[in-house]
Amino acid sequence: MASTFKTIEGTFDVLPGAAVAVHRVEAWQEVERGIRAVMHRFAFEEIRTPILEPTALIARGIGQLTDIVSKEMFSFERGRTSYVLRPEMTAPVVRAYLQHHLSQRPGAARLCYLGPCFRAERPQRGRYRQFHQFGAEILGVTDSRADAEIILVMMAIYEELGVTGTDLRINTLGDEHSRPRYRQALQAYLEQFKGDLSPISQERLARNPLRILDTKVANERELLQGAPKLPDYVDKHSRAHYEALKGWLDDANVRYTEDPFLVRGLDYYTRTAFELEHAKIGAQSALAGGGRYDLLASAIGSRHPVPAVGFAAGLERLFLALDAAGVTLPGRQPVDVWVVAMGPDAERQAFSLVQACRRAGLRTGSDWSGRSLKAQMRLANRAAASYVVILGERELSSGQVQIRQMRTGMQTAAPMNTIVTYLQSQQNASAIT
């Protein structure tokens, strides 16, 4: 209770050296580095968009009927404008693509992102109000190889980081003509059993019946056994697209399961839909999801349709999966050098020496509280310093400072002006091994 204020519900600080990886900066840095490395290798380029977007972009992009828009947005008015803290990144990326006419650049746009998103849900394991998404989008390509590539980068990231036990499920939702036909058929079927449906499903029946497909209620799942099947309604072209996608995935040796009940919570998906799940990370088992969204650009005002496909993944859930896989992530980073000084004259020299070390590229620490030698040595040890340079009255008068290699305890004297080059050579030597 040192402070009156604390992080608000569903948010958390990320600190150096925290015990739990998801709360530790060094772990985040490592994971982010890994994600970006894979994205880079797949020739995606990073895009950064504002956290604040116009509410209408999200509402029209994701769909008014979705849970995200209808009840999970952090939005507020200011002047005559309504703003949202972005709940996801796909709509903003497409907005940027249209705004900056990225279609005019040569070839397809291959964009990736990583950053905070916000949803006003009740927090629980793997679910926060401020959370982080990373993902990739390919805009301007109709071919199913784009769908396949999106799935491939996604899988590569988890594989690279050492996540095991994932389960990829895929489906096709059909196009803008066949999907409504199926919707009607499903609606008509479920209407007969309306009384047996849960209140939520009853609500959905009228507005968004496809969402009922992924219900967890046992008797509803039973009812769905006799329901019209989505694959039977999918149009010829979507069917072919889907078959081709499976072919590419097979060629790439990606394992997947087909799930005709897989639908997604965002309205903009057409044809391909997929989800990456993990069985051992709790109720929030979806690591990532995505699909094709050829209608989104038009929905947010583009005069020309933009074929597009992408995935989005949760960083916090990735941490859960990493933990389940037993992957260890880095903690506090050691320093190369720690400079110890005793007495005002030595402290003055030491201050300059510290800066000289840093200019030479050495990670260098020191303590300016005027502690005892013993205490300063202790700090050097805690900082996991490779070397300690000791400066006191004796060193000042002799011109020779002490250099101690902490691991071995070996200590030698050397002229003050040779220290930096000596430490540099030591660092280079250890870098090679």
Q: How far is the CB of 387 from RNA (least distance, A)?
A: 10
Query: Among 299, 309, 399, 308, which residue's Cα sits nearest to residue 349?
Result: 399
Q: How far is the CB of 122 from RNA (least distance, A)?
A: 3
Q: Round to whole Å and give the CA distance between 238 and 55.
A: 32
Among residues 229 and 371, whose Cβ is nearest to RNA? 371
Q: How far is the CB of 315 from RNA (least distance, A)?
A: 8
Among residues 100 and 368, whose Cβ is nearest to RNA? 368
Q: How far is the CB of 79 from RNA (least distance, A)?
A: 26
Among residues 188 and 279, whose Cβ is nearest to RNA? 279
Among residues 103 and 343, whose Cβ is nearest to RNA? 343
Q: How far is the CB of 286 from RNA (least distance, A)?
A: 4
Q: How far is the CB of 105 from RNA (least distance, A)?
A: 27
Among residues 166 and 238, whose Cβ is nearest to RNA? 166
Q: How far is the CB of 250 from RNA (least distance, A)?
A: 24
Q: How far is the CB of 191 from RNA (least distance, A)?
A: 18
Q: How far is the CB of 88 from RNA (least distance, A)?
A: 6
Among residues 188 and 375, whose Cβ is nearest to RNA? 375
Calculate ∠ Cα 115-310-229, nearest 5°: 130
Residues in the chain, overall count? 433
Q: How far is the CB of 288 from RNA (least distance, A)?
A: 4
Among residues 289 and 365, whose Cβ is nearest to RNA? 289
Q: Round to whole Å and give the CA distance between 18 and 34.
A: 20
Q: What is the dihedral of CA 379, 381, 386, 389, to 10 degrees?
A: 50
Among residues 26 and 235, whose Cβ is nearest to RNA? 26
Among residues 1 and 429, whose Cβ is nearest to RNA? 1
Among residues 103 and 349, whose Cβ is nearest to RNA? 349
